[in-house]
Structure 1
Amino acid sequence: MRQLANRPFIVTTSRRPTDAQWADAAHWAERLDAPLVARRGGIATTCEFHGVVGAVVVGADRVTYHEPANDLQYFYHPGMARVRMQSIRRGRGDPMVTAMRLQPGDGVLDCTLGRASDAIVAAHVVGDAGRVVGLEVSPLIAQLTIHGLATYNDDSPRVTAAMRRIEAHQTDYRLYLSRADGGAFDVVYFDPIFHAAVEGSEQMVALRELGDSSGLDSEAVTEARRVARRCVVIKQRYGTPLWEQLGVDTVIGNPSTRVQYGVIEADREA
């Protein structure tokens, strides 16, 4: 069985799949290198029968990862991207965009893509002339996000257009950074799992459980400064110890937002 952070899982379908659904499920099984099995009643029963923790369920409308015993489910959704884009268009701005000093035509490397909400906002701001590349190391999150960015149709055409412009890859940012040219992007961005969860953000529980929890270290930041032409931006909960550990130059945000952005200027002599 495929292991996801010590979580063995299978791929299956809804209770009465069509031929097209079954074919799609077979594609997902290959994509995730996981066994494809037929449903045996409910998802919990199917997982128990196969001795696994989770199941990727390919339904008629979406693909969802379930862990019945943990009451956990995850499916692709662009999150608050649309609301944030509306705020920008109405002149209220966005703290991440402010921290990045983002302009049309910029290049952004998002090293911790997740569900790509931040990358979508960045893609909206940099426009057709810019470039946004997103990296995600968790195979399940990466594949669901890659699929979502290519197929999800938001009610807002602007959101959909921004999603389609993102180049998403399943890879470790450490490896990508080590191979990237110096000054390849204007901004290198990190949104590592917070040192403490933000209250009231239940929708992020699955990402926190399934995502990379290895944290951000100074070696990765040094590489990011080499790759960035302008700056490295790190998103964290207010009061994080990372600011002192990594030596950020500027912090954007305040206690009322619960989230801050630490800015480290690029090392153009590296």
Structure 2
Amino acid sequence: MQLAVTSPLDAAGDAAARAAAARHGLPFAARTGRPLAEVAAASGADALLVVSRSRAALYLDGAEHPWRAGMAALRVKRLLQGERSTRDGFLEAAQLRPGDAVLDATLGLGMDALVAAAAAGPGGRVLGVEASPALAALTAEGLARCELEAARRVEVVRADAAALLASLPERSVDVVAFDPMFRFGRAGASGFDLVRRLADPRPLAPETLARARQVARRWVVVKDGTPGWDLVRLGLSPLPSARGAERVYARVAAEG
């Protein structure tokens, strides 16, 4: 997919868009009052990252898809208010601690990474890995504009998760998390259609899971859609979940 960066109609946004283009090594396409479709056609781009000082969006297939913290903001709010993690399946599975280093190997739009950064606190850090250049750029720019303090602790890396895990030292992070694409989409999920359109569709490979267990100090968390067919494929047992839950999780101990 060919990607370029442009600004909103307001020419004052050009500086922010040019800076984003430089950060991601992408071409900049001047807006000059033109519709996004015209900008994309003129630049030969399949999609446009539309960036201003306060907003990041992806223009794809004739529509703008703005990055928003969405439900992650509510999840962070609940966490900071001290509500029990059982209300958040990811937090219950990950059992994160202050100061943790977390590797989110399937970043997507960064919702779980944002919650993980809040749970790990000021002394923690989250490395979010995303194979899709468009998703990686959108999420990085969205997080950079997010008002939540935890967003400052999420570092976005565009890479193949298996290759990056292979390059990391053993026991170099506390928790590794995977949220691979589910076999069946969930209608109406905010942002899910965009992620399904752009994200790496390959299922989690057993070899990648095994390497993640070597890189983790405590455990690896794997998310799946109910009823958890891919967990079964990987030989994993789902943790107990609430009746009617649309997501299930497995927690696998680190190796060694």
How much has 1:23 moved relative to structure 2? 3.1
Alpha carbons of 1:180 and 1:213: their partners in 2 closer, same or farther (altered >3 Å)?
same
- Given the superposition, is the C-alpha separation of residues 249 and 15 from structure 1 closer, same or farther in structure 2, using an over 3 Å criterion? closer
1:38 to 25, 30, 34: 30
Is 1:174–1:220's contact at 8 Å kept on the other side of the alignment?
yes
Alignment gaps of 5+ in structure 1: 154-159
Q: Do the aligned residues in 1 keep the contact of 2:16 with 2:52 (CA within 8 Å)?
A: no
User: Which residue of 73, 76, 81 maps to 1:82?
Assistant: 73
> TM-score scaled to structure 2, two decimals?
0.87
Match of 1:11 among 5, 24, 49: 5
Output one character per residue of 1:92-149: Cα deviation in whole Å (capped at 9) or x when no partner. 3222111122222332211112222111211222222333222122222222322333
Question: For each residue in 1:65-84, what CA deviation from the matched residue of structure 2 results, as whole angstroms up to 9, or x when unmatched?
Answer: 212xx344333222312211
1:57 aligns with 2:45: no
Instruction: Work out the CA distance in 1 between the residues paired with 2:27 and 2:152.
Output: 30
Instruction: Tell me: CA distance 1:61–1:190, structure 2 relative to 1, closer, same or farther (3 Å).
Output: same
Number of residue equivalences: 252
**Equivalent-residue separation in structure 1 for 2:58 and 2:162 (angstroms):** 26
Output the CA distance in 2 between the equivalents of 1:10 and 1:168. Answer: 19
Alignment of 1:237-248 (within 5 A): 237-248=225-236
1:170-209 equivalence runs, <5 A: 170-209=158-197
Contact 1:64–1:75 at 8 Å: present in 2 too?
Answer: yes
Q: Identify which range, 50-59 or 244-253, moves more after superposition.
A: 50-59
Deviation at residue 60 of structure 1 after TM alignment: 5.7
One-letter amino acid of the structure 1 residue matched with residue 64 of structure 2: Q
Aligned counterpart, 2:245 = 257
Residues 238, 255 of structure 1: 8 Å contact kept: no
For 1:257, what is the secondary structure of its paired residue? coil
SS at match of 1:169: strand
Pairwise CA RMSD = 2.3
Alignment match, 1:24? 16
Q: Flag structure 2 segments of 5+ consecutive residues without an equivalent.
A: none
1:131 aligns with 2:125: yes
CA deviation vs aligned residue, 1:163-183 (integer Å, no higher than 9, x gap): 112233222221221122222
Between the aligned partners of 2:123 and 2:21, the Cα distance in structure 1 is 36
> Which amino acid in 2 is paired with 1:144?
L
Matching residue of 1:220: 208
Matches of 1:10 and 1:133, distance apart in 2: 25
Q: Is contact 2:4-2:26 (8 Å) kept?
A: yes
Aligned counterparts, 1:63-74, within 5 A = 63-67=56-60, 70-74=61-65
Closer, same or farther: CA 163–32 of 1 in aligned 2, 3 Å:
closer
2:231 and 2:238 in contact (8 A); partners too: no
